[in-house]
Structure 1
């Protein structure tokens, strides 16, 4: 999953760089709200059924009946949501700044089909086989989107690339699914809905963290209060750049959820407790130095990678990088809480943080623009993380890798001094000089952090099976 997500990030990152340089910030200020609206509409279109299906299938009983019940529940919901979007076509187009409502509905249907196939595969404990699906959409966005750009389609070309990737994901995903669709029963449908009512609320929290800032900024664009579509494009590029460091954490979390669910069904609490600190450490070892590096190189990163007009988001990028530290904890704690079959508590945390996120974004974007959006999102998600830790600790003992994280802070400080010194001596004018400075910082950090024996031992423990597999 990590390798797949690394390629996914690489293709997506390359696409953002190319489209930013070719199109500029304003067209991206239409494309990103398109994705944000997909997230908004996707909440009622899914209603938590995808996550509930993952959970029930991973428990290992009556898989065919659960899959049949899930499809019967999900299909009419998606159709109704699509019809409602077409009824309010005028307002959808106004939000997007272009006549895209019909294309939006088609993309929604295809995206829902692909996402649900991945939920089924994960419920089969075949998480590794979803790896290829993780790569398809960003690769298609890059290749197909660029071809349409060359044909003069502009922002529509980006959407066509995203749609084509989603279609491939759906086709390959359902081709891989091995569970036959069984006869649905009221009992199985009720079981899915019992879990879905809470996982749907939790998914709201995930959406609010990912897209509510873009949605609120776009509303400010529509009403004409000073935020431009170029600002929206620059902010989302900063967000995506900060998100790169979450590759490890997300890969572990996706892989861990069905396994935690199985352990919970077997009452293997000790295995859950031992897995959490081991899962948290790799992500923390990346997000801490990433924040320090961003603190020094923020403006250079945006200018060299995307172009001068994107540097308006340099301070927002620093705040967003800081926000990845609590997110690295949350992404695993939330999976653990849902994995032990307590989506109700995850939903409580999600509702509280979502309300805070919305309020913070409206107030702080109005007052501070892009930086306000970054602060609002970071603060709300920090609250979400604390609530998940509080609830999870009621059922399992959480042991955070505090000493290892402390040493990572020390190593990041040493790295920061080296990067700052090098930055003052070397003018960063090209992607090569930028990569050179980043590489030096990475080598310094890696050398210092591995001086701490517990981290070195954990790295050897994780890497040894990979080395043995590669050499066998």
Structure 2
């Protein structure tokens, strides 16, 4: 597997999907308004919550065990069976408590949760199997189809006057297409499982389950708590800010997704030196877009939210800045976190996650209650700092990680230079329209690329060396 090419392929597809997601958030906010779109975001938050016990870490267990190359069909069959029972139980609970769920979400969405949950879990499982088969690049188009479908089908349903239900319908169709396409591409065929296969999956998944809980807390717990203390309009404002910052994580996540099965295979082969040579380059590349994005948002946060999304709630610009700063931590974490799991130490990842969950939950409740949206952003950032530091500490116990200080410093300096140019443009121009905003952002991108590519080390060594890795 060529890691560079697979990452670029996954990044290109993710970028297309993210553009669809970004466009959808803009369009739906302008048509439906912040409160109704906020209800959909709460629907997604509950869906994420239900996916934790529905999955119980099985997807990560499948990816790890199948990537090891033995008894692949038996592990697949065991996973299919292990997932079905909790899904049925959770679906039953949703039906029983649908009234409470509908009141919390603000729409009659509870029964839709059941169908979308089944589609989501088995669609995502197919992608885990493809990644385990070292076919990471092939998952790119499937993820893109899901996000593009949400936009296109959602707009189509809106045209037919289905209201906010259009967004749920688009999500369901997207997962349905991912389900069909994913299982059509999977080459591993089910085989008779044994109790030992199920036990092996469970032994890995029970730790991965804790990490998945941490992932949910990171992605959705702030939204859940904002939904308890504030309005659906506040939910929408925070989630829009979150999704803006997630755009810059596309390539970092593509890298982390791509290296997992390869690092897992090298770990099995005891090729530790190859892993140690890979990680510094991947870490640096992971930060290449995130650092300049922080400096850009530091200057243009209010303009982005007001002109593009028509969000003018007090303090939301600060929320966007804090969350973008947090993405610097996440860009590091996605690489070292997946690497720690790939070397078969999900137990240590679980320990780090348990500490983070406690910090996240306590800080979110206290800070959202006291400071609103800004409190949620600070709580998420502090908890993720703890998470990243612990994962780094644990990974350093097994691998030597060399930090490329010079190249990293040049990226920071290039980003700061871009930020200064943006400040000058902002003070001299009247950024009163989306076209002017995008023009200023484009100018900032060109300035950053112009400065960062001056470095021969980054221009030649980093790019060419990474693309040649396999």
Task: Work out the CA distance in 2 between the residues paired with 1:464 and 1:175.
Answer: 29
Matching residue of 2:144:
135
Deviation at 1:398, TM superposition (A): 1.3
2:288 match: secondary structure: helix
Note if contact 1:25-1:309 (Cα within 8 Å) is conserved in structure 2.
no
1:278 aligned onto 2:281 = yes
Task: Work out the CA distance in 2 between the residues paired with 1:120 and 1:77.
Answer: 20
Which one of 215, 223, 234 corresponds to residue 231 of structure 1? 234
Matching residue of 2:338:
335
| Structural RMSD (CA) | 1.3
Which one of 202, 211, 214 corresponds to residue 202 of structure 1? 211
Note if contact 1:302-1:310 (Cα within 8 Å) is conserved in structure 2.
no
What does the per-residue CA deviation read over 1:103-123, in whole Å, with 9 as the maximum and x for residues that have no partner?
Answer: 111111111111111111111
Deviation at 1:311, TM superposition (A): 6.8
Which one of 167, 173, 185 corresponds to residue 176 of structure 1? 185
Note if contact 1:315-1:371 (Cα within 8 Å) is conserved in structure 2.
yes
1:95 aligned onto 2:98 = no
Deviation at 1:405, TM superposition (A): 1.6
TM (normalized to structure 2)?
Answer: 0.96
1:378 aligned onto 2:381 = yes
Note if contact 2:418-2:447 (Cα within 8 Å) is conserved in structure 1.
yes
Task: Work out the CA distance in 2 between the residues paired with 1:323 and 1:460.
Answer: 25
Note if contact 1:334-1:346 (Cα within 8 Å) is conserved in structure 2.
yes
| Residues paired across the two proteins, number | 460
TM (normalized to structure 1)?
Answer: 0.95
Task: Work out the CA distance in 2 between the residues paired with 1:58 and 1:11.
Answer: 31
Task: Work out the CA distance in 2 between the residues paired with 1:382 and 1:326.
Answer: 7
Matching residue of 2:441:
438
Matching residue of 1:50:
59
Task: Work out the CA distance in 1 between the residues paired with 2:419 and 2:295.
Answer: 6
Deviation at 1:400, TM superposition (A): 2.1
Q: How does 1:9-88 map to 2 (within 5 A)?
A: 9-88=18-97
Deviation at 1:458, TM superposition (A): 3.0
Matching residue of 2:390:
387
Matching residue of 2:120:
111
Deviation at 1:4, TM superposition (A): 0.8
Deviation at 1:411, TM superposition (A): 1.1
- Ranked by relative contact order (alpha carbons within 8 Å, sequence separation 6 or more), the top structure is 2
1:217 aligned onto 2:226 = yes
2:289 match: secondary structure: helix
Task: Work out the CA distance in 2 between the residues paired with 1:48 and 1:414.
Answer: 43
Distance 1:345 1:412, change over 3 A: same
Note if contact 1:303-1:310 (Cα within 8 Å) is conserved in structure 2.
no
Task: Work out the CA distance in 1 between the residues paired with 2:303 and 2:48.
Answer: 31
Matching residue of 1:223:
none
Which sections of structure 2, spanning at least 5 residues, go unmatched?
Answer: 1-9
